[in-house]
Chains A and B, each alone.
Chain A
Amino acid sequence: MSPIVAILLLVAGLSEAAGRLLPVVARLSGVSHVRVVGLLLAGALVDGAVFALWPLSAWAVAGLVLPTAPSDALVWTPGLAVPLVLAGVLAFPLLGPLLHLLLMVGVGAGLAGALAMVAGIDWWEAAGCVAIAGVGLGVSVEAVRRLVVKLNTRRAPEPVA
């Protein structure tokens, strides 16, 4: 992985973590600024790592479902990774989740094209592999996120009568 791609993925991770920050902080009433910054940086690393694993996971899925495993590994290029910097769009009121989904679908489509070329398979097959990898990683990281919040929660929000 080139340094520029590594930096892009870290920034993308930070952007994604910032987009998800408020619901996390809301469960940690009375949390300090320092702790929030710490959570944000930890989230940036985890989300950046998940983004980094996406093409590798898609390539591994392709190896599992195809009769012959692709020879060259699928890796991020700056062109493929740069839209991920906009992951913070998730924070948008109301439209955030939809815009975030569209962004991920767009990036996934780019990855599918690259995988189709590397593995010499049909674009739709590649898109399936990318989607399975993306959903799998997404579900895993969400589970980790919930666990972190649960471990960090000192007090549940007061119930509204």
Chain B
Amino acid sequence: MIGLALLLLLGGLGLVLIAEALLARYEVLVYAAGWRTPTISRPEGMSYARGADPDRPPDAYLVYLDGIGKRRFHDTRDGGRLVKALINRAPELRVLGQVQPYSPLAVPLADRPVWTWVRRRIGLLLFLHNVMQIFVAADRRYRPLYNRAVGAQIATELQVAGYRPDSGIPVVLLSYSGGAQVASGAVNELWAQLRTPLWLITLGGFHNGANDITHAQHLYQLTSAGDWIERVGTRIFPQRWRLFRWSGWNRADREGKITVHRLDPATHIGPRSYISPDARLPDGRSHLDRTTDTVLALIRDRLSLAADSDGPLP
């Protein structure tokens, strides 16, 4: 009896997976065909950027690309903690957290009638949908379109938030988990549209390593031995293996563009995650504090290096 129930459950889950995998590329299709224009509309009262005073140029723009929990313009619970901590401690940055990494049309899942119905009944499907979007973004056939769509979305958000092309103000793409796939994919489009000095910071980055990040000045990989989800990404995607010397990731690595920073013993998710305000380190700081400190130290070091040199940084 239990065996039959399990079989039915697995069968049902299998069918849902198949349906979701086949429908996942629908949004990219709509974008590619030009049937709908990506939206930049906001909920009432929501600002286009937070942090530094919009009346004067900030030291840098920071765009936060969240993990698979992102389904509305507003911050997720965990991602929101990190964004708030960054805004509180770095008044010199303008922070954008409303980018929809898993929607080429920039439409949050929570705003779609079908998904509202699904969320009330099978909330897990929203996560599954966003996971599938990561795989669509990683697929050789769909990747160029997906990258262009999300890159254009970020470029538009930045310009609406006051960024001017060729201004030379750095843009930092801070990505968590699957957001790394989207962040690395957005590099070329951002460069094409804004010619911005671009820095990437991945936090437990889950990505396939195929994207060309030539136009990014540097990528900081924040990781931990306790992060098995990031480790899965390094193993299941061949472009992350040393063997694939000419993948975007390995080329960037050979050019010295990737620096690893360890945040042991943090985990990817859960009560001991990178963004946990409760898990404590021996020095008394929470994991969230340390992650925030690390991100801000990297940005400020980079800014001071940029101030000291006229040319592009290594």
Closest 9 CB pairs of A and B: A93-B135, A26-B32, A161-B192, A93-B136, A93-B139, A30-B34, A160-B188, A92-B21, A94-B135
Q: Is B213's beta carbon under 8 Å from chain A?
A: no
Q: Given A91-B25, A93-B135, A29 and B192 touching (CB < 8 A)?
A: no
Q: A25 contacts B136, CB within 8 Å?
A: no
A161 CA to B25 CA in the complex, in Å? 25
Q: Given A26-B32, A33-B35, A93-B135, A157 and B25 touching (CB < 8 A)?
A: no
Q: Is A21's beta carbon under 8 Å from chain B?
A: yes
Q: B191 contacts A161, CB within 8 Å?
A: yes
In addition to A22-B32, A29-B33, A160-B148, 19 A-B residue pairs with Cβ atoms within 8 Å of each other are A22-B28, A22-B29, A22-B141, A22-B142, A25-B29, A29-B32, A29-B34, A33-B35, A36-B33, A88-B22, A91-B22, A92-B21, A92-B22, A94-B135, A95-B21, A157-B144, A160-B188, A161-B188, A161-B192
- Chain B residues with CB below 8 A from A25, complex form: 29, 32-33
- Chain B residues with CB below 8 A from A93, complex form: 21, 24-25, 132, 135-136, 138-139, 142
Q: B22 contacts A22, CB within 8 Å?
A: no
- Chain A residues with CB below 8 A from B24, complex form: 93
7 contacts between A and B (CB under 8 A): A22-B28, A22-B29, A22-B32, A30-B33, A31-B33, A31-B34, A93-B21
- Chain A residues with CB below 8 A from B142, complex form: 22, 93
- Chain A residues with CB below 8 A from B135, complex form: 93-94
- A-to-B contact residues, CB < 8 Å: 21-23, 25-26, 28-31, 33, 36, 88-89, 91-96, 157, 160-161
Chain B min CB distance to A90 (Å): 10
Chain B interface mostly helix, strand, loop or mixed? Answer: helix
- B-to-A contact residues, CB < 8 Å: 18, 21-22, 24-25, 28-29, 32-35, 132, 135-136, 138-139, 141-142, 144-145, 148, 188-189, 191-192
Chain A min CB distance to B142 (Å): 6
A23 CA to B135 CA in the complex, in Å? 16
Chain B CB count within 10 A is highest, among A21, A30, A160, A161, for A160
